[in-house]
Amino acid sequence: MGINLARIAIFASGNGSNAENIVHYFEKQKTATVDLIVSNNPNAFVLERAAKLGIESHIISRADFKQAENLLELLKNKKIDFIVLAGFLWLIPSELIISYPNRILNIHPALLPKYGGKGMYGDFVHQAVSISGDTKSGITIHFVNKAYDEGDIIFQKSVEIEAGEDSDKIAEKVHALEYEYFPVIIEKVITSK
Ligand code: GRF
């Protein structure tokens, strides 16, 4: 649709290491810019990262998020073309999904459809994988729809798990995949539109 320089908003609830990695990637690539970071958590470390990176951030209340009108107004004012969820824990309201069809991406730290759904995030995922005896885990990048972790899958990458590896070790391997692939796949989606 002829976007020259796509504008991205990242939604994140916690640490924000993926958010920072995406910002740095697009500083180099110049195919998009990260123009806004939205968090539901006023104490999230991602907000400190945003301040250091010089990126505008916005803290959103649950009521404002569910109602979506003010958020949509903010996204419109900032001319946001794509939304990237990087460790964002709230279900996305349908108004946002309708306004950004196939323009909201999420990363899940496991190979969906396994280990997905409500309550399956962060260490809960890696712990479940660790006790399952599975010999691999990985990442899933997908479009966001109304249900947690059920949107169309764009990309998956797996990594081997050795016997006896704990959830910390699995998390470390999965994070490495996230840093390597998430920005590249975001860019692919953006440049294909
Ligand atoms: C990542 O593992 C991501 O896959 C998941 O939440 C985690 C966020 O980590 N959705 P960080 O905040 O980017 O460090």
Q: Cα of 73 to ligand 1 centre, how many Å?
A: 26
Q: Which pTM was predicted?
A: 0.95
Tens digit of pLDDT for each residue in 29-75? Answer: 989 999 999 999 999 999 999 999 999 999 999 999 999 999 999 99
Q: Is 175 a catalytic residue?
A: no
151 lines ligand 1 (CB under 6 A): no
Q: Which residues are paired to 108 by β-bridges?
A: 140
Selecting among 58, 108, 126, 142, the annotated active-site residue is: 108
Fold classification of 6-108+141-154+179-192 is: Rossmann fold (3.40.50)
The alpha carbon of 77 and the centre of ligand 1 are apart by a number of angstroms equal to: 27
Q: How far is the CA of 108 from the centre of ligand 1 (A)?
A: 8
pLDDT digits (tens, 9 = 90+) for 70-121: 999 999 999 999 999 999 999 999 999 999 999 999 999 999 999 998 889 9
Report the side by side order of strands in the sheet with 57-59. Answer: 57-59, 32-39, 6-11, 82-85, 104-108, 136-143, 153-160
